[in-house]
Chain A
Amino acid sequence: MQQNVVVLDNGGGLIKAGLGGDRDPSTIIPNCLYRPLSSKKWLHPSPSSDPIDLTSAAVRRPIDRGYLINPDLQRDIWAHVFSSILHTHHVGPAHSALLLTEPLFALPSVQRATDELVFEDFNFAALYVADSPSLTHLYEASRRPTGLISRAQCSLVVDCGFSFTHAAPVFQNFTLNYAAKRIDLGGKALTNYLKELVSYRSVNVMDETFLMDDVKEKLCFVSMDVTRDLRIAKKSGKENLLRCTYVLPDGVAHTKGFVKDADEAQRYTALDEGDDQSQKPGTSMDWDQAHVTEKIEERKKTDLTKNEFDLTNERFLVPEMIFHPADLGMNQAGLAECIVRAVSSCHPHLQPLLYQSIVLTGGSTLFPRFTQRLERELRPLVPDDFQVKITSQEDPILGVWRGGSLLASSPDFEGMCVTKAEYEELGSARCRRRFFH
């Protein structure tokens, strides 16, 4: 019996949902309900209809720190998602299977709540629970059938998502959970950190989650040399290659914020490694004096009535926290050390292979230069005779879902699922043993 498989990557930030076998998910929406100022009710985010003004919208998320804590809310959101996917195909959940992603180390109570949701509230015929590292591995292995990842059947997946960051080795399509390591930092914490910085330094944006997400995505980048960039960020006038201005929405002419000058925002890419033109002694003094007048003009340009704010060192200090969570006061190692610890808890024969097949996935790896910086941090920590090779996915947000779609269309999939009858017979805990995690 060929049945529909709904593939659902239930992330803390975005839900990616679609039918197994497709290349791209049909629905990508934020996994939350929000209440804009104009409304009293909590609304579902919908990509199709006219964009609602999200200024100061309150948010409710069913997922906290990566794990499902509010099944009632999740039920609402899933019902909304499924109605849009399944309605077009004229099948109910009762005739389809569900492939669901779940974070590593989900607590038994969270797993039970998820199973209840799937089988008792939605009546799915079958369920398979996968974790994101193995799906990412599957996708990367099938994309390059002759590459190392598919020949060696192992890879180290770094999933830097919305709620947290995992470095997990995958071997023959199974995540080695005893070696997986986690940093409790993800896109959500970074956005909140940026909010905090901007609110203290220029405009109060503590309520503007969606706006600051946009600022983070458009303007933040990973610095290759923090001390140098801090020096540059201190400069004034045109010398400061890092400053750029973001214009807040005014609710009349534009309802979305935007970067004032896109070229200005890209100037940091000119900071090539090694060649520090701005560091030549003498010139900087001349520049300062010559541009005093210009500085005043600049000041005039950013007047407060126009509701905009400048970002300088915030642009790279925010993503920096993934590499050095200790700077925030967290007692956790950075991403490079996290990878090293994950790899060294594996069998020694696997280690050289794992270092050569690091795969980056998750939305927070989209910061420009993330890969280069990681490589630079990782190299000194890895033994000299091992090669380090980091692959970034072409679309890190969808990578996990695509892996799920592949798995769902494979012939073995039906046999791997737990059916509703089995769930009713055995209960949640015993069904879960089949998934090996």
Chain B
Amino acid sequence: MDDDASNPLRRVSSRTRKVASKMVAALASTDNRTQAALARLEALENDNAGIETVEPNDEDDDSLDEDDQVYMQKKQSKSMKRKTRQAKALEARKAPKTFLELLHEANLESLPSHVPSYLKASVGPPISTSRRHFCTVCGSAAKYTCVRCGIRFCSCRCQNIHNDTRCLKFVA
């Protein structure tokens, strides 16, 4: 697209123009799919499903009296302006690190190979069984794969539901 914009005289068929950007995305799609799968696994460890973020000092606001509100509003607008760099840095420091960050910091890869550690304790990939696929719509055994996003479904009916609801949400 950028290419087209920079040089409008270049002659390309309309189809190429339409498809080109999608092709790029499609080429990267296997990566996108694994990333989507990882994100999904990550989501299984979330406490709150929403965008709930850590609010370190929300309790301060609650202790206010109703009478003071007008005054506080003035004061707040003042403090809000000030709350730029310093406050943000403070909040960032206050937010606890996630376990993965701590794990990264511990640098367990550098330990000698005979020392048992968190990383080595993980069971490896399965040997005796392989992955079974269940229909993401209804849960029964899935025979088919969505050509666009790689998600599984079991029947035409489920495919339609899938196309209407979830499809392509993971890609791009």
Chain A residues in the interface with B (C-beta under 8 A)? 32, 40-42, 58-61, 64-67, 69-73, 104-105, 107-110, 166, 177-178, 180-184, 188-189, 192-193, 195-197, 200-201, 206-207, 209, 226-227, 230, 233-234, 312-314, 317, 324-334, 337-338, 341, 381
Residues on B with beta carbons closer than 8 Å to the beta carbon of A40: 58, 61-62
CB distance from B19 to the nearest CB of A (A): 30
Distance between Cα atoms of A313 and B124 in the complex (Å): 28
**What 0/1 pattern do residues 51 to 81 of B give for CB contact below 8 A with A?**
0101000110110000000000000000000
Q: Which residue of B lies closest to A178 (CB)?
A: B116
Check B166–A200 contact: CB distance below 8 A: yes
The answer on a CB contact under 8 Å between A337 and B106 is no
Q: A324 to B129, Cβ gap below 8 A?
A: yes
Residues of B within 8 A of A200 (CB): 136-137, 165-166
Q: Given B48, B98, B102, B131, which contacts A326 in the complex, CB threshold below 8 Å?
A: B131
- With both chains docked as a complex, state the minimum distance between the C-beta of B58 and any C-beta of chain A, in angstroms: 7
Q: Choose one: A184, A207, A327; the contact of B49 (CB below 8 Å).
A: A207
Assess A108 versus B106: contact at CB under 8 Å? Given A58-B52, A206-B50: yes
* Given A192-B45, A197-B139, A206-B50; A104-B121 close (CB under 8 Å): yes
What residues of B have a CB within 8 angstroms of the CB of A317 in the complex?
Answer: 134, 139
Taking a contact as CB atoms under 8 Å apart, the answer to whether A313 and B99 are in contact is: no
A180 to B118, CA, bound (A): 10
Assembled-state Cα–Cα distance A375/B136 (Å): 29
A326 touches B47 (CB 8 A): no
Chain B residues within an 8 Å CB radius of A184 = 122
B residues within 8 A CB of A188? 44-45
What separation, in Å, do the CA atoms of A328 and B126 have in the docked complex? 13
Q: Which residues of A contact B127 (CB under 8 A)?
A: 333, 337
Taking CB atoms, residues of chain B closer than 8 Å to A329 are 37, 40-41, 131
A111 to chain B, nearest CB (A): 11
B7 within 8 A of A: no
- In contact, B41 and A334 (Cβ under 8 angstroms): no
Residue of B62, B96, B99, B123 near A183 (CB, 8 A) is: B123
Contact of B141 with A230 in the complex, beta carbons under 8 Å:
yes
Q: Does B105 contact A (CB under 8 A)?
A: yes
Would A341 and B62 count as touching, CB distance under 8 A? Answer: no
The total of chain B residues at the interface (CB under 8 A) is: 52
Q: Mark B28-52, 1 if CB is under 8 A from A, else 0.
A: 0000000001001101111111101
A182:B131 contact, CB within 8 angstroms? no
CA distance A182 to B54 in the complex (A): 29
- B52 CB to nearest chain A CB (Å): 5
Bound complex: CA of A1 vs CA of B134, how far in Å?
61
A181 to B123, CA, bound (A): 5
Determine if A331 and B102 form an interchain contact, defined as CB atoms under 8 angstroms apart.
no
Beta-carbon contact of A333 and B130 below 8 Å: no
Q: In this complex, what residue of B is CB-closest to A205?
A: B49
Q: Apart from A189-B44, A193-B44, A234-B140, what are 14 other A-B pairs with CB-CB below 8 Å?
A: A40-B61, A58-B52, A59-B48, A61-B47, A64-B99, A196-B43, A196-B44, A200-B136, A326-B129, A327-B132, A331-B125, A332-B125, A333-B129, A337-B127
CB distance from A369 to the nearest CB of B (A): 19
Chain A residues in 8 Å Cβ range of B136 = 200
18 interchain pairs, CB-CB under 8 A: A40-B58, A41-B62, A107-B106, A188-B44, A195-B49, A200-B136, A201-B138, A230-B139, A230-B141, A313-B139, A324-B129, A328-B41, A329-B37, A333-B125, A333-B127, A337-B128, A341-B123, A341-B124
> Do A314 and B41 touch across chains, with their CB atoms under 8 A apart?
no
Are B99's CB and A67's CB within 8 A?
A: yes
**Closest chain B residue to A105 by CB distance?**
B118
Selected from B43, B106, B132, B137, the residue in CB contact (under 8 A) with A324 is B132
Known A69-B98, A192-B43, A206-B49: A230·B140 in contact at CB below 8 Å:
yes
Given A67-B102, A192-B46, A327-B132: A180 and B121 interface contact (C-beta under 8 Å)? yes
Q: How far is the CB of A346 from chain B (nearest CB, A)?
A: 13
* Chain B positions within 8 Å of A189 at CB level: 44-45
Bound: A72/B45 CA distance, A: 21
The answer to whether A60 and B116 have CB atoms under 8 Å apart is no
Minimum distance in angstroms from B37 CB to a CB of chain A: 5
Do the beta carbons of B106 and A327 come within 8 Å of each other? no
CA gap between A200 and B136 in the complex, in Å? 9
Which A residues touch B99, using CB under 8 A?
64-67, 69
